[in-house]
């Protein structure tokens, strides 16, 4: 595992090594790619850590492109190249969508996050010309209390302020952490897996439905809506993360035979919160 702060890598599973990375180049770690079987590239600045100022947008994009360039550089230099690279991306690739079911065949959107995803995915495309299989993981909201978006999504409910966001009709593409990890392992092990894959559960739900389920499992009320204009005042352009969504389904994963442990948000949230 690469980290800008390797000293903070505590509590990791046995056998995990943490190597220092400058977040720009392959210097110091590139040689480790030689004889590595698989690489999972998840690097990128948190898109929900603050308002999207021009400076922050630049950092969000460049952090992803720098990681991709460094990875390509390391693979090019390796004598024995990896068998597969899993390139992270986001379900925001498709942009804000309505009720249309979103499969991997749908073209990219035009908003900021969509364009970030397009460039992020393209940043490692050169490895394919080097004979390395590449699968792209377009991940939805990962359900885990150990990080990511879910703890922030649940905070209003814990404060007895939970409810739908905006109209509540926007779709929430989600996936349980166990299935996220399982899907990545599946893509690594399956030689037929290349190109984009939606890493989302087969049954997305609306924000209103999520609010109802979250409130029930937390034993908190879920009837205090937050109007869209309030979210835009609070978060600016970043409010699009909350007010728009994608009815994404994992068509290609299912076609290849991946089996989800959690297909319904109700049981997934129950498992995460117990």
Whether pLDDT at 6 is above 80: no
Question: What region, left, alpha or beta, does residue 197 occupy, with left being phi > 0 and alpha being psi -120 to 50 degrees?
Answer: beta
Please give the backbone phi and psi of residue 240, each rounded to the nearest 5 degrees, phi first. Answer: -60, -30
Read off the pLDDT of residues 132-161 as tens digits, 9 standing for 90 and up. 999 999 999 999 998 888 888 888 889 988
Helices (H), 149-206: 150-158, 177-189
pLDDT score of 35? 82
Confidence band for 4, pLDDT divided at 50, 70 and 90 = confident
Helices and strands in the chain, H and E counts: 9, 12
Read off the pLDDT of residues 170-203 as tens digits, 9 standing for 90 and up. 999 999 999 999 999 999 999 999 999 999 999 9
pLDDT score of 92? 95
pLDDT score of 20? 79
- The DSSP symbol for 6 reads G
pLDDT score of 11? 66
Beta strands in 59-165 (DSSP E): 84-90, 101-102, 133-139, 141-143
Whether pLDDT at 28 is above 80: no
Given a contact cutoff of 8 angstroms between Cβ atoms, the answer to whether 67 and 61 are in contact is no
Share of the chain above pLDDT 70, in %: 97
CA 240 to chain centre: 16
Residues ≥6 apart with Cβ < 8 Å to 78:
30, 33, 34, 35, 36
Average pLDDT over residues 6-12: 67
Give the CATH fold of the 2-273 domain: Rossmann fold (3.40.50)
pLDDT score of 126? 96
**Element holding 134 (H helix, E strand):** strand 133-139
Whether pLDDT at 274 is above 70: yes
Average pLDDT over residues 249-259: 98
The chain-wide mean pLDDT, for the chain, equals 92
pTM greater than the 0.95 cutoff = no
The most confident of 22-26, 224-228, 255-259, by mean pLDDT: 255-259
Whether pLDDT at 9 is above 80: no
Read off the pLDDT of residues 55-94 as tens digits, 9 standing for 90 and up. 999 999 999 999 999 999 999 999 999 999 999 999 999 9
pLDDT score of 104? 98
């Amino acid at each position: 595992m690469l980290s800008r702060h390797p000293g903070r890598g505590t509590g990791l599973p046995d056998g995990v090594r943490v190597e220092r990375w400058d977040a720009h180049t392959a210097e110091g770690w590139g040689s480790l790619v030689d004889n590595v079987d698989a690489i999972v590239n998840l690097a990128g600045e948190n898109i929900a850590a603050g308002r999207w100022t021009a400076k922050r947008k630049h950092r969000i994009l460049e952090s992803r492109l720098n990681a991709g360039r460094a990875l390509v550089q390391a693979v090019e230099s390796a004598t024995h190249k990896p068998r597969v690279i899993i390139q992270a991306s986001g379900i925001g690739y498709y942009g804000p969508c309505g009720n249309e079911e979103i499969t991997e065949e749908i073209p990219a959107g035009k908003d900021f996050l969509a364009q970030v995803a397009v460039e992020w995915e393209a940043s490692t495309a050169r490895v394919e010309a080097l004979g390395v299989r590449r699968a792209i993981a377009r991940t939805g909201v990962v359900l885990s209390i150990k990080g990511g978006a879910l703890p922030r999504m649940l905070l209003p409910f814990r404060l007895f302020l939970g409810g739908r966001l905006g109209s509540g009709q926007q779709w929430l593409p989600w996936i349980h952490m166990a299935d996220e990890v399982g899907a990545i392992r599946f893509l690594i092990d399956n030689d037929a897996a290349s190109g984009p894959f939606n890493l989302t559960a087969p049954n997305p739900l609306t924000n209103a439905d999520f609010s109802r389920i979250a409130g029930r499992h937390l034993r908190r009320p879920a009837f205090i809506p937050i109007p869209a204009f309030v979210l835009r005042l609070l978060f600016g352009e970043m409010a699009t993360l909350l007010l728009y969504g994608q009815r994404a389904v994992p068509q290609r994963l299912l076609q290849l035979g991946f089996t989800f442990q959690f297909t319904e948000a109700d049981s997934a949230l129950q498992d995460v919160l117990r």
